[in-house]
Amino acid sequence: MTPEQVQLIRLTFAQAVNHKQETGRLFYERLFSIAPDTRAMFRSDIDAQSQKLMDTLALAIGSLRDMASLVSMLEALALRHVQYGVRDKHYDDVGAALLWTLERILGPAFTPAARDAWGALYGTVAQVMRNAAKGAPSAKSAAAG
């Protein structure tokens, strides 16, 4: 990611945070509509889950200048997600839901450059998490062992 992309992500995320609950709710509504199998993974209140999503995004974006910390955080997150039943295909669904949500929340501020920047960020996040998840025991094998 370029410094310009990092700056664009920070600026657009600051705008999305102004609509924090709406952004989170819209994201989960979209995720559940394109990947209905993910709904069962969320036992908690969606408003609380929306808060966690936005807090995690804020932490990740705040760590963009410290990639070692970001990678470490994402690897730990991926291992937890394996235990929740997240599969590889879900990363694509989450990415699609995230970009769709940002487009709705940001409107004209979600320019092609902003879309590219967020796509680059999410691509990196998803790759780190996928790689970490591949090394983790699945929830089923952990429960069986």
| Per-residue pLDDT tens over the stretch 71-121 | 998 999 988 888 888 888 999 999 999 999 999 999 999 999 999 999 999
CA quadruple 121, 125, 131, 134: dihedral sign: negative
Question: φ and ψ at 87, to 5 degrees?
Answer: -110, 165
Q: Which residues contact 100 (CB under 8 A, 6 or more apart)?
A: 30
User: Average pLDDT, whole number, for the chain?
Assistant: 89
Task: Quickly count helices (H) and strands (E) in the chain.
Answer: 7, 0
- H/E run at residue 90: helix 88-106
**CB contact at 8 A, 95 and 120:** no
| Per-residue pLDDT tens over the stretch 50-68 | 988 999 899 889 888 888 8
Q: What domains can be seen in the chain, in order of their start residue?
A: 3-135 (1.10.490.10)
